Amino acid sequence: MAIEEDLDILKLDIAGLSKAYVEKQLSPLEVTRCLLDRIEKVNPKVNAFVTLLEEEAIASAVQAEKEIQSGHVKGPLHGIPIGLKDIIYTAGVRTTMGSSIYKDFIPNQDATVVEKLKEAGTILLGKVNTHEFAYGATGDRSYFGATRNPHNLMKVPGGSSSGSAAAVSSGLCYAALGTDTGGSIRHPSSFCGIVGMKPTFGRVSKQGVFPLSQTLDHVGPMTRTIRDNAIVLNALIGYDPKDPYSSKTETEDFTRRLEQGIKGTTIGIPRGYYYENAESEVIERVEEAMRVFQSLGAKIKDVDLPHMKEIAMAHQVTIRSEAYAVHERLVMEQPEEYDEEVRERLLTGKNITAVQYIQAQQTKLQGIEEFNRVLGDVDILLTPTLPLVAPDIIPSGFDESNTSVRWTINRFAGPTNLLGLPSLSIPCGFSSTGLPIGMQLIGRAFDEANVYRFGYAFEQEVSINTLKLFV
């Protein structure tokens, strides 16, 4: 296949690829081989994939091709090559958690989300890197080495879904699943210039996903476009009795409101907390996005969320407590097997008291009430996804100077993990050094379709090409 043909394939989104399959302009086998060739060339630079399933992917592509050509199309994800964050269990395929402890661990069953993606006909290319045990905002701490930002290989990709973002951003797959406990889908999506959705808590089953914090963990899609993201989320949702946190909600089509436009809507801007200590270029890009929304007919309204610092601290108390509870035995018995930074972070939960944890849960309820009040007066909230652009990768070991950076990265994303509200990160521009900057759209619980509507309106109006084909 010529290089020009490869590039044409790589530039397609999921919707375009699915259409090309049905019209027999492309085949799943052709596309899968193209991506496997690209992974061979590009992955040594970005270190996104840690387990490549070449034979299995080819076999799946052959099967998908036969089904599609015979008219048995399962849907828009049929024959679409994807990646999975390496804390999501896959039967017969190692799932490492980015850790030496689990480097050879092979689950005997699929996570529920994997079952759903298989039912949708996707092609699993392999497992992608993660910050060790999904506990880190930078994405550069893994037994398999640091994942690198495709936009600048010396910069962090964001974590913990680092490999997912790097793989999508550099054209190694068309979508990937990530997990989000304090921003771990949205951080790397913002740093790498892609679309990442943390759905409403309970929307997507966590069964078969290695836990970090049971009441904060979410699974969600990471893609190049809004429509693609909604298509993937369509396949993931649904009540799962095997997940005690799963919500009993009806299935729905998250693409249904994309074309409605946003004229006559109101966007809330909580400037106080979400503007504090944010880099000037981040604020500039978000303010520019506001003007785009206004040009599309939306009203911009300043809103007040007076207890954001308390909500953010409650999130930190919760994640530290629950993460330590998951790792207590292992981190005490095999401390040397943990990355130094991750171990240090886990141990911050050791001495949190029951009183502190209960107070945090009370703050959570107050925070939900506060956000619901504000979201009752506006259609959506708009904030920066992150207060900064991607910082440098620290080569190895634990550096105290990086502590402030990692907590800074968590500031704007963590609160909606605590509150369970859907939060979408989409690209809104670049820094002067060419690094992507993202903005965050926050909606009411179970109102993802509306969140996507706003993201789509912006995406269609402002063409921001963040796909890095030449890494």
CATH number of the domain bearing residue 409: 3.90.1300.10
Q: In the chain, which stretches have pLDDT less than 50?
A: 397-398
> Scanning the structure block, which residue is given the tokens 């840690």?
50
Half-sphere exposure of 427 (CA within 13 A, CB side): 29
The distance between the two most distant Cα atoms of the chain, rounded to a whole number of Å, is 64
Residue 408: the pLDDT is 84
The verdict on residue 93 lying in a domain is yes
The verdict on residue 60 lying in a domain is no
The verdict on residue 20 lying in a domain is no
Question: Helices (DSSP H) in 70-185: which residue ranges?
Answer: 112-119, 162-169
Residue 463: the pLDDT is 84
Q: Which residues of 341-403 form beta strands (DSSP E)?
A: 380-384
Instruction: Considering the candidates 60, 85, 142, 321, report the single residue annotated as catalytic.
Output: 85
The verdict on residue 321 lying in a domain is yes
The verdict on residue 21 lying in a domain is no
Distance CA 196, CA 190 (A): 8
Distance CA 250, CA 203 (A): 10
Model-wide pTM > 0.85? yes
The verdict on residue 19 lying in a domain is no
Distance CA 10, CA 467 (A): 9
Instruction: Considering the candidates 99, 164, 184, 425, report the single residue annotated as catalytic.
Output: 184
Distance CA 11, CA 430 (A): 20
DSSP result, 2-54: -HHHHHHHHH--HHHHHHHHHTTSS-HHHHHHHHHHHHHHHHHHH--EEEE-H
The verdict on residue 55 lying in a domain is no
Distance CA 96, CA 296 (A): 45
Helix (H) or strand (E) holding 84: strand 81-85
Residue 395: the pLDDT is 67
Helix (H) or strand (E) holding 449: helix 448-461
Residue 158: the pLDDT is 97
- C-beta separation of 461 from 292 below 8 A: yes
DSSP result, 392-439: BPP-SS--THHHHHHHHHHTTTHHHHHHT--EEEEEEEE-TTS-EEEE
| Residue ranges making up the domain that contains 455 | 80-461
Residue 398: the pLDDT is 47
Count the domains in the chain: 1
Residue 308: the pLDDT is 98
The verdict on residue 254 lying in a domain is yes
Please confirm, yes or no, whether 160 is among the known catalytic residues: yes
Instruction: Considering the candidates 160, 189, 423, 431, report the single residue annotated as catalytic.
Output: 160
Please confirm, yes or no, whether 85 is among the known catalytic residues: yes
Cα 390–chain centre separation: 16
For 168-177, letters b (16+ CB in 10 Å) and e give: bbbbbbbbbb
Distance CA 225, CA 462 (A): 12
**C-alpha separations of 304 from 40, 150, 257 in Å:** 49, 37, 28
- C-beta separation of 337 from 143 below 8 A: no
| 195-198 and 266-269 beta bridge pairing | unpaired
Residue 145: the pLDDT is 97
* First and final C-alpha spacing in the chain: 20
